[in-house]
Structure 1
Amino acid sequence: MSKPLLDIHEKPSGIQLVTLSFQHMFAMFGSTILVPKLVGLSPAIALLTSGIATIVFLLITQFKVPAYLGSSFAFIAPILIAAGGLKNGESVSPGNAMIGAMLVGITYGIVSLVIWKTGYKWLMNILPPIVVAPVIMVIGLGLAATAVDMAMNITVETLDTATGEMVKETVYSFKHFTVALVTLFSAIIFTVYFKNILSAMPVLLGIIIGYLYAVILGLVDFTAVGEAKWFTLPDFLIPGVHYEFTITSTIFWAMVPIVIVTLSEHIGHQLVLGKVVNRNYVKDPGLHRSILGDGIGTFLSALIGGPPKTTYGENIGVLAITRVYSVYVILGAAIIAIVFSFVGKAMALIETIPTAVLGGISILLFGIIASSGLRMLVENNIDFGNNRNLVISSVILVIGIGGAAFHFTDAFKVEGMALAAIVGVLLNLLLPEREKEVANLDEE
C-alpha cells in the first residue's frame, strides 16, 4: 500500500488546504446538485446541507473517517412519490419529501443504536447481496425512462385551434438530444481515458462541456444570472413555517424502506474507504458511529429542505488518487460548499443548465447505478443456477421496475422500489436452503 502524502490527522499548509478542499468540492458538486435538479428541490440547499452533514459526520466519527456526504441518488424516485411528482420543474409537495427524509434519518439512528448494542451481523443477515444487488439495479433501471425523456424531449406550447387556448405538449428535439449526447460522451471519456484527478469528477466535467455546447447552440438564457445578487439566502424549507408537519403512511412507505439499500451502500463505502486509508472503520470508530453520522446528517438536511445524504464514492476516489487522507481537507471542502450555497449568481447559473444536459449525464449515472448492482452479484459469486437466488432477484426486478403497488387504502400504499426491497428481504428470510452470504467485516 502506498504511503499517504498526508495521513488522517495531518494538516496541510494554507494554500494546500484551499486547493485540495476545492478539489473535493468539485468532485462531489455535479452529483450533489443533480439530485435536487431532478426532484425539484433547491441546488443551493443541497450544497449547504452537504457541507453541514459532512461536518456533523466528522464530529460523530471523532474526525477519524475522511468521508464527504452528498445527495443520495437512491432517494430520487421515493422523493418524487412522497412529494406527489413535479409540476413546472418543482416538487408538488416538497414538505412531504422532507418529512420522509427525516424519518430516514431517524431510522438510521435506530439502526446505529441496535448495532451499538448487538453488533452488525444481524444487519448483514437481512441485507445479503442477493437482496441488495437487484434493488440497486431497480434504482438505476427504474429511472432509465426519465433520463432518456430528459435527454431528447422538450415541452412546447402550441395553440389548440378547437379551444383557442395554449396547451403544453412533449416533442422530440434533435438539437437538445445532441446536447445530451455531447454531455454523455464527454463524461464517458473522462471516466475511461483519464487516470488522474479528472477521472474522479466526470459528472462535473461532463456537465460543463455539455453546458458550453448548449451555449454555442443558443439554448441557454443568462438573463437570470445577470439579475441575481451576489449574496442570496438559499430557499429553506422549514417544518411548521413552509409546510405542515404531518406523517402519513404514503410518506413513510415511499422513503423508509429504501434504507435497506442505503445501509448496504454505507457499509460498502466504509469498507472501501478503510482499504484506501489503511484503517478498519468497522471497529474504530465503528459502524454504529458512521451510520449515526449519516442519519443525523440526513435528518438535519431535511430539517431545512435538503435531500437525504450518503457518503460519496467520488470523494473516496479523490482520496485514492491523491493519497491525501487528511480530515481537514474534507472539512475545508464542507466549509467551501456552505459558502458557495450563498453565492446567488452561482446558483442562478446552475438553474440555467438545460434539461438535456442533465438527461445526458443521467443516462450514464443511472446506468452505472444499475451496473453496480450487477457488479455486486458478480463479486459475491451469486449462483443463478440456484433457483432460490433466481426467484429472489427476478421478483425484486419485476416488482421494482414494473411499479407494482399495494394499495391498502387511498392513503396507505407501498409501491415500486420500496415494495421490491421489502419483498426481497422477506423472500430471503423465508425461502429454504439459505446460503451464508455474510461478509467478514473484521478483515483488514
Structure 2
Amino acid sequence: MTQETIGIREMPKKTQWFILSLQHLFAMFGATILVPLLTGLSPAVALVSSGLGTLSYLLITKGQIPAYLGSSFAFIAPVIAAVGIGGPEGAMFGSFLAGVLYGLVALIIRAAGVRWLMVLLPPIVVGPVIMVIGLGLAATAVDMAMLHPETDAYSTPHMLTAAVTLAVTITASIFFRGFFRLLPIISGIAAGYAAALYTGLVDFTPVLEAGWIEMPSFLIPFVTYEPAFNWTIAAIMVPIAAVTLAEHIGDQMVLSKVVEKNLLKKPGLHRSIFGDGAATIISSLIGGPPNTTYGENIGVVALTRVFSVFVIGGAAVFAVLFGFIGKVSAFISTIPTAVMGGVSILLFGIIAANGLRMLIDNQVDLGRKRNLVISSVILVIGIGGAFIQVTDEIQIAGVALATLIGITLNLILPGRDPVPSEEEVFQENNSDSAA
C-alpha cells in the first residue's frame, strides 16, 4: 500500500494549504466556466455555485470523500434546449428537478442498495448514451469554431483562432508533464485568446467597465423571477440525470481505488449521490448549471496523493471568491466563441470517446445481437434528433429519448448479463489496479 502524503481528514500545513487548493481551482476552472459560456449562463455564478455545491457535498458526505464538483458537460445540450424554450429560468427549473431525482435515488439506494440502479443502467446503455451526448454537440463545436457569431458566415479569423486553440490544447494534453499536464483546457484557451487578440476578435470594453468587486448575476426564484412548471423542459433534462448517476458511480469507484477505501460502503453511495443532488439544487437556486464530481480533480488527487478534504474545501472557497471579482467575470466574457469552439472540438469528442471506452473497459461484446441492437438504436435515436410529441406542450427528444429507449430495450430483450454488487466491482477494480 502506498502511503498518502496527506490523509482525507488531515489538515495541511498553512504554507501548503493555499497552493494545494489553488491547484484544484486551476484543474476545475476551465471546464467549469466553459459550460456556462456554451449555454448562455453566467460564468461567475457557475464558479459560486461550484464552490457552494462542493462545500455542501463535503458536509453531506461527512468530510470522507475528497471530491470537487463543477459544471456538468452531460447537461450542455439539455440546458441549451431549456434556455431556448424558457430562458435561463427554464434551465434552472430543469436543473432543480434533476437534483431532486438525485435525492430520490439516494433515498432508494439507502433502503434497497445500488444493485437495481446497475440493472437499469448497465454499460451497454450508458456507454452509447455518453457517445450521443458528445456527438450530438459536434455541430455546435464546429459552428462556433468557423462561423462569425453575428452573421453565421464562414470566418477565416475565427477558424484560425479555433485551430490554434485546438492545437495547443492537444499539445498540452499529450506532451505537458507534471502540474501543467492537468491544465490542457486553460493552456488552449490562453493560446487561443492570444491568437484572438492578434486577429482582432477581442473587445476589452467589458473589462474596463467592470468593477473589481461585483455581485454576480444570480437567478433566484421568487426574487429575480417567478418560476413556472414546464413539462417539456422536465422531459428534456430529468432523464439526463440517469446518465450522470452512472458517471457518478464510476467516479466513486475510481476515487475509492485512489484513496484505497471503499467509499461506496462508507460513507456510502447514497450520501455521495445525495450530496451531488444537493449541489445541483443549490446551483439551480442561484442560476448556475448542474454540478457533478470532476474527473480532473480526481486526477489531481491521484497524482499528488493529497487526499485532504480541507484542500478541496479551500478550492471551493476560492471559487466562491473568484465569482465576486467583477474583472475576472468580465475578462471571461471577452473570450471569443472561436476559442470556445476550438476547445469544444476536443472536449465533445472526448465525451463521445469516453462512452466508447466504457464499452471497452466493461468488455461489452458488440458481436452479440442484443448489445448491437441496443447500442445502434440509442446512437441513431439520440444523434438523429428523434422526438416524441406527447402533447402540445410535452416533447421527449434527443438524449432523453435515447436514454429511455435504451433502458427499455435493456429490460425487455433477453440475455442480460448478471450485475455485480458494488462490493464485487470495488474488489475487481482493486485487483486490476494491483495487477
Please give the TM-score of this superposition, normalised by the length of structure 2: 0.96
Q: Distance in 1 between matches of 2:425 and 2:367?
A: 27
Q: 1:78·1:254 contact (CA, 8 Å) conserved in 2?
A: yes
Q: CA deviation at 1:202?
A: 1.0
Q: The residue matched to 1:420 in structure 2 has which SS?
A: helix
Question: Secondary structure in 2 aligned to 1:70?
Answer: strand
| Residues 311-367 of structure 1, C-alpha deviations (whole Å, 9 max, x = no match) | 000001111111111111100000000001000001100000010000000001000
Matched, 1:364 2:346: yes
Shift of 1:243: 2.6
Match of 1:429 in 2: 411
Task: Give me the whole-angstrom Cα distance separating, in 2, the residues matched to 1:2 and 1:254.
Answer: 44
1:320 aligned partner, one-letter code: A
RMSD value over aligned CA atoms? Answer: 1.2
Show the 5 A alignment for 1:335-414: 335-414=317-396
Separation in 1, partners of 2:18, 2:220: 32
Structure 2 residue 195 is matched with structure 1 residue 201:
no
Whether the aligned pair in 2 keeps the contact of 1:201 and 1:314 (CA below 8 Å) is no
Aligned to 1:377, the other structure's residue is in SS state helix
Q: Do 2:202 and 2:336's aligned partners in 1 also have CA atoms closer than 8 Å? A: yes
Aligned CA distance change for structure 1 residues 438 and 247 (closer, same or farther; 3 Å): farther
Letter in 2 for 1:213: A
Distance in 2 between residues matched to 1:243 and 1:438, nearest whole Å: 46
Report the 3-state secondary structure (helix = DSSP H, G, I; strand = E; otherwise coil) of the residue aligned with 2:417.
coil
In the alignment, what sits opposite 2:68? 68
Partner residue, 2:284:
302
Deviation at 1:248, TM superposition (A): 1.9
Residue 267 in structure 1 maps to residue 261 in structure 2: no
Q: Residue by residue, what CA displacement relative to the aligned partner does 1:49-83 show, whole Å, maximum 9, x if unpaired?
A: 00000000000000010000000000011112222
Question: Which segments of structure 1 move beyond 4 Å, counting only runs of 4 or more?
Answer: none
Report the counterpart of residue 264 of structure 2 in structure 1. 282
Aligned AA (2:286): I
Q: What corresponds to 1:43 in structure 2?
A: 43
Equivalent residue in structure 1 for 2:222, among 240, 244, 249: 240
- How many residues of Structure 1 are paired with residues of Structure 2 in the alignment? 426
Residue 2 of structure 2 corresponds to 2
8 Å CA contact 1:149, 1:359 repeated in 2: yes
**Does the C-alpha gap of structure 1 residues 149 and 10 become closer, same or farther in structure 2, counting only changes over 3 Å?**
same
The match for 1:222 is: 204
On the 8 A contact 1:136/1:370 being kept in 2, the answer is yes
Deviations 1:396-426 (A, max 9, x none): 0000001100002220110000000000000
Match of 2:125 among 109, 128, 131: 131
**AA matched with 2:296:** E
1: CA distance between counterparts of 2:42 and 2:131? 27
Query: How far is 1:3 from its partner?
Result: 2.1
Question: CA contact under 8 A between 1:109 and 1:292: conserved in structure 2?
Answer: yes
Q: CA deviation at 1:436?
A: 2.0
SS in 1 for 2:425: coil
Rounded to whole Å, the distance in 1 between the matches of 2:191 and 2:367 is 45
Number of the residue aligned with 2:59? 59
C-alpha displacement of 1:244? 2.2
Shift in Å, 1:201: 1.9
What is the identity, as a one-letter code, of the residue corresponding to 2:55? I
Counterpart-to-counterpart distance in 2, 1:429 and 1:111: 19
Distance in 2 separating the partners of 1:117 and 1:94: 35
> CA separation in 1, counterparts of 2:149 and 2:237?
29
Give yes or no for contact 1:151–1:180 (8 Å, CA) kept in 2. yes
1:150 paired with 2:151, answer no
Mapped to 2, the partners of 1:311 and 1:408 lie a distance apart of: 33
Offset at 1:216? 2.4
Inter-partner Cα distance in structure 2 for 1:438 and 1:246: 41
**Displacement after TM superposition at 1:442 (Å):** 4.4
Which amino acid is 1:180 matched to? A
The one of 145, 156, 160 aligned to 1:174: 156
CA contact (8 A) 2:129 2:403 kept: yes
Question: Counterpart of 1:213?
Answer: 195
Instruction: List per-residue Cα deviations over 1:359-393 (Å, max 9, x = no partner).
Output: 00000100000000000111111111110000000
**Distance apart, 1:437 and its partner CA:** 4.4
C-alpha contact 1:125 1:438 (8 A) present in aligned 2: no
Report the alpha carbon displacement of residue 441 of structure 1 after superposing the two structures with TM: 3.2
Higher deviation after alignment, 103-112 or 213-222: 213-222
> Are the aligned partners of 2:253 and 2:426 in contact in 1 as well (CA < 8 Å)?
no
Q: What SS does the aligned partner of 1:409 have?
A: coil
Are 1:186 and 2:180 counterparts? no
Amino acid at match of 2:261: R
User: SS at 1:353's partner residue?
Assistant: coil
Q: How far, CA to CA, are the matches of 2:53 and 2:164 in structure 1?
A: 33
Further displaced range: 175-184 or 371-380: 175-184
Q: Is the 8 A contact 1:128 1:438 kept in 2?
A: no
Displacement, 1:130? 0.2
For residues 409 and 123 of structure 1, the distance between their equivalents in structure 2, rounded to whole angstroms, comes to 29
Match of 2:111 in 1: 117
- Bigger CA drift: 4-13 or 379-388? 4-13
Task: Give 3-state SS (helix, strand or coil) of 1:45's partner.
Answer: helix
Cα distance in 2 for residues equivalent to 1:8 and 1:435: 36
CA contact (8 A) 2:94 2:237 kept: yes
CA contact (8 A) 1:405 1:419 kept: yes
Deviation at 1:219, TM superposition (A): 1.7
**What is the distance in 2 between the residues matched to 1:205 and 1:54?**
25
Map 1:1-40 → 2, pairs under 5 A: 1-40=1-40
Q: CA deviation at 1:208?
A: 1.2
Alignment equivalent of 2:231, drawn from 249, 254, 268: 249
**1:89 maps to what in 2?**
none
**Larger helix percent:** 2
In the TM superposition, residue 438 of structure 1 has moved relative to its aligned partner by 3.8
Q: Distance in 2 between matches of 1:210 and 1:319?
A: 28
Secondary structure, counterpart of 1:64 in structure 2: coil
Aligned residues: percent identity? Answer: 57
1:66 partner SS: coil
